[in-house]
Amino acid sequence: MAKIEELVQELEQEARTTRRTLARIPEDRLGWRPHATSMTLAELAGHIATLPALVTDMATWPKFDVETSNEEIRASRPTAASVMDALEMHDRSVAQAKAALAGMDDGALAEPWRMVRGDEEVGTIPRGALFRSALFSHWYHHRGQLTVYLRMTGVAVPAIYGDSADEPAFPV
């Protein structure tokens, strides 16, 4: 199996789990945050829902300037207006990511991708490694953060990679 196909399969599997987790957000708690410096549930949901679409940028940008690109991304980060809005953003984002990956081959995953700060190079990694760390691991990190928010608001946490305290991974 080609590496690109493995990424698409992982995206599809994790998207189902992420969607199930987003669907648990209580509509009446979208403005809740565990701390003044934390994202609200609506902000976190919007971030999680739209992360997969970053593959489109990562597939086409030859570099990422941490001085300008981070601010542009933060400024354009959507906030979910409702749980349904988060689910719709998620579905669109996953579809965009799948389309971007479908247009690539394993050779594209090996291409170098540069991170810069202005004219200074911060680092270079293969595009496939970028997808793994900046997209997938980042996505999973925030999904885990969402499960903590759910627990703190009294919502049952879904089984993700195994049983949760509230739900078996493989119900009988």
Task: Take residue 68 and report the two structure tokens written for it.
Answer: 């300008």
Cβ atoms of 31 and 39 within 8 Å: the answer is no
Cβ atoms of 56 and 105 within 8 Å: the answer is no
Is residue 138 a known part of a binding site? yes
Rounded Cα gap, residues 53 and 18, in angstroms: 14
Cβ atoms of 59 and 109 within 8 Å: the answer is no
Rounded Cα gap, residues 21 and 148, in angstroms: 11
E strands in the chain? 63-65, 112-117, 120-126
Is residue 47 a known part of a binding site? yes
User: 């195994």: which residue's tokens?
Assistant: 162
User: 């976190």: which residue's tokens?
Assistant: 44
Task: Name 123's Cβ contacts closer than 8 Å, sequence gap at least 6.
Answer: 114, 115
**Binding site residue list:** 47, 138, 142
- Binding-site residue ranges for a divalent metal cation: 47, 138, 142
